[in-house]
Amino acid sequence: MKLVIAVIHDEDSHRLTERLNKAGFMATKLASTGGFLKTGNTTIFVGTEKEKLDEVLDIIKKECKTNKQMSLLNPPVAGMPDGYLPYPIEVTVGGATVFVLDVDQYLKI
Amino acid sequence: MKLVIAVIHDEDSHRLTERLNKAGFMATKLASTGGFLKTGNTTIFVGTEKEKLDEVLDIIKKECKTNKQMSLLNPPVAGMPDGYLPYPIEVTVGGATVFVLDVDQYLKI
Amino acid sequence: MKLVIAVIHDEDSHRLTERLNKAGFMATKLASTGGFLKTGNTTIFVGTEKEKLDEVLDIIKKECKTNKQMSLLNPPVAGMPDGYLPYPIEVTVGGATVFVLDVDQYLKI
Ligand code: NI
Ligand code: NI
Ligand code: NI
């Protein structure tokens, strides 16, 4: 048995846990802040048999994969000179930090 | 040293941590959602010496044991036909998912 | 790779994570209650290479060290007899409970 602890972006949390559930894995979500990811994040705990660990990791990789997207991070604010134009800049979204731990004993009560 | 991570029902959380405290175990509670248990749940962390692990697990088993109880899940609502009678149905309460992890180092600062 | 789980006082949380970040360690914070420390507490997760574990533990020891300070825990309240004087009493602040776990696999996605 393995315990997967993944720190993921809030915005990936709902989709990821849905995919995990569909594949038969139960994920417990804990609200977390700071740290591995700068923005709001969620820490999820997923228990899995050793044989299915790769399946869990593949789902996390797929749903949390880092990619670049364009964002307007510089909207005009009051006092800006006339003619200021916001322009899109590239930001990185997604990503996850994953720890896999050995489970000494697993109980379902 | 072992670290016990238990995902339990919210409604068992206060009673369980009180019993653990009484028996000399300190439990840290973290609010969690989804996953192992469908309803609101709590994740607790309990550190224990190896020799007392069974005592911790026995307390969790006792306080979080699954049982069936009757509940009125179908109360009458506006617009129901006259003569509608709510009837009790059996629901399962309690339950817990428990991971025991080996602790490499334990420090009290 | 090691995963450090530390239950610390809320009031040490911001300073500790700043010092860890400065030293190149990422800490994820989770709000927690009860347990190891009586007052409001925070549980932090810090992943580190084995070689740098002592550095992480030293920072936690330094930022969360237990010490005594004087506090007015008995301020006068309405209805107290005239001439009542609050007096400072010694309280213990700080402290942490730390678990170091072996990490079976570590992934940055
Ligand atoms: Ni994000
Ligand atoms: Ni319940
Ligand atoms: Ni305190």
pLDDT in tens, A72-109: 655 556 666 666 666 777 777 778 999 999 999 999 99
Between chain B and chain C, the number of residue pairs with CB atoms below 8 A apart is: 75
The values of phi and psi at residue A103, to 5°, are -105, 125
Q: Tell me which fold the domain B2-75+86-102 belongs to.
A: Alpha-Beta Plaits (3.30.70)
In chain A, the residue whose alpha carbon lies closest to the alpha carbon of C2 is: A99
Q: How far apart are CA C72 and CA C105, in angstroms?
A: 49
In one-letter notation, the amino acid at residue B89 is I
CB under 5 Å of ion ligand 2: residues: B 9, 39
Answer yes or no: are the C-beta atoms of C15 and C94 closer than 8 Å: no
HSE on the CB side for A11, CA within 13 Å?
8
Q: B20 C-alpha to center of ligand 2: Å?
A: 20
Orientation of helix B53-63 relative to helix B10-22, angle to 10°: 140
Domain C2-76+85-102 is found in CATH 1.25.40.10 = no
Left (φ > 0), alpha (ψ -120 to 50) or beta: where does A98 sit? beta
Within chain B, which residues score under 70 in pLDDT? 35-39, 71-86
Q: Which of C3, C11, C5, C25 is nearest to C66 (CA)?
A: C11
Contacts of B14 (CB under 8 A, 6+ apart): none
Q: Residue B16's pLDDT is what?
A: 95
Question: In order along chain C (109 residues), what is the average pLDDT of each group of 10 residues?
Answer: 94 92 92 68 94 98 84 62 69 86 95
Q: A41 C-alpha to center of ligand 1: Å?
A: 8
Contact residues on chain A for B12, CB-CB shorter than 8 A = none
Answer yes or no: are the C-beta atoms of A46 and A27 closer than 8 Å: yes
Q: Which of A64, A89, A72 is nearest to A11 (CA)?
A: A64
CATH of domain A2-75+84-102: 3.30.70.120
Left (φ > 0), alpha (ψ -120 to 50) or beta: where does A52 sit? alpha
**Per-residue CA distances from C70 to C73, C89, C92 (Å):** 9, 5, 9
Pairing type for strands B41-48 and B67-71 reads unpaired
Q: Does the complex come out with an ipTM higher than 0.90?
A: no
Q: How far apart are CA B33 and CA A34, in angstroms?
A: 19
Q: Residue B32's pLDDT is what?
A: 82
- Check B109 against C5: CB less than 8 A apart: no
- Burial (0-12, 13-18, 19+ Cβ within 10 Å), B10: middle
